Amino acid sequence: MTDQLTSVSKLLAYVLRHRPEAVGIALDDAGWVDVGVLLTALARHGRTVTPELLDRVIAGTDKQRFEVQDGRIRAAQGHSIGVDLRLQPATPPPVLYHGTVARFLASIDVEGLQPRGRTHVHLSADRRTAVTVGGRRGEPVVLTVDAAGMHALGLVFHRAANGVWLTSHVPPRWITLPGGRTLA
C-alpha cells in the first residue's frame, strides 16, 4: 500500500472508530455515515479524499477495515465509541488467538484480556494474524484462547465483517501462553 493509501486508511480508521467529531460528522447508532457526508467533511478539514481514492483504500487494505453499503461507510470493528454493529452472536472456532507483547502479560495474567479503550476484545482465527497484531508494539507474543470452552459456558462471541472475532472479555483461565502454560 502506498504512503497515501496508508495515510488515508489510518485517517478513516481514526474518524470512523474513535473521533467522528474531529471532522464534524456524526455516525448513526450502528457506526454508519453517508460516504458523501464523510468526503465533504474531510475536505472541509483539509483532507481531500476523492471517491476513487476511497475505493482504492477500501480495496487495497488486507485488513478490510471498512464496510461500504448503500452509499454509507463504517469501520468493521475496533471502535472506542459506542456503536452497535448489530452483529449476531456466532459460534467461534474451538481456538482463537490474540497478539500482544510481553510487557502486558502480567496484567493479562490477573485480568485476562480486556477491551481497554475499545468496545470488544479482538481475536483472530489464525496465528499469523495474531503475530502481525502483536508485532505492531514490539516482539509479538501469541496467546491461545479456548473459545470453545468460553462459548460452552455462555460467553458471547461475534464475528465482524472482516473476520475479526469479538467478545467482551477473556478471563485468564481461558488463555494459554506460548509453551503451554495456562493462566490463572
pLDDT of residue 42: 97
Instruction: Report the 10 Å Cβ neighbour count for 143.
Output: 24
- In this structure, are residues 38 and 75 in contact, taking their beta carbons and an 8 Å threshold? no
pTM to 2 decimal places: 0.84
| Cross-strand partners of 74 | 67
Compute CA distances 13 → 7, 17, 34, 45, 110, whole Å: 10, 6, 15, 16, 30
**137-158 pLDDT, tens digit each:** 899 999 999 999 999 999 999 9
Residue ranges for the chain with pLDDT beneath 70: 1, 61-63, 184
> Which residues touch 152 (CB under 8 Å, ≥6 apart)?
none
pLDDT of residue 142: 96
Nearest to 162 by CA among 132, 136, 123, 119: 123
- Domains of the chain are 3-75 (1.10.10.970), 95-176 (3.20.170.30)
pLDDT of residue 62: 61
pLDDT of residue 66: 93
Number of H helices, E strands in the chain: 6, 9
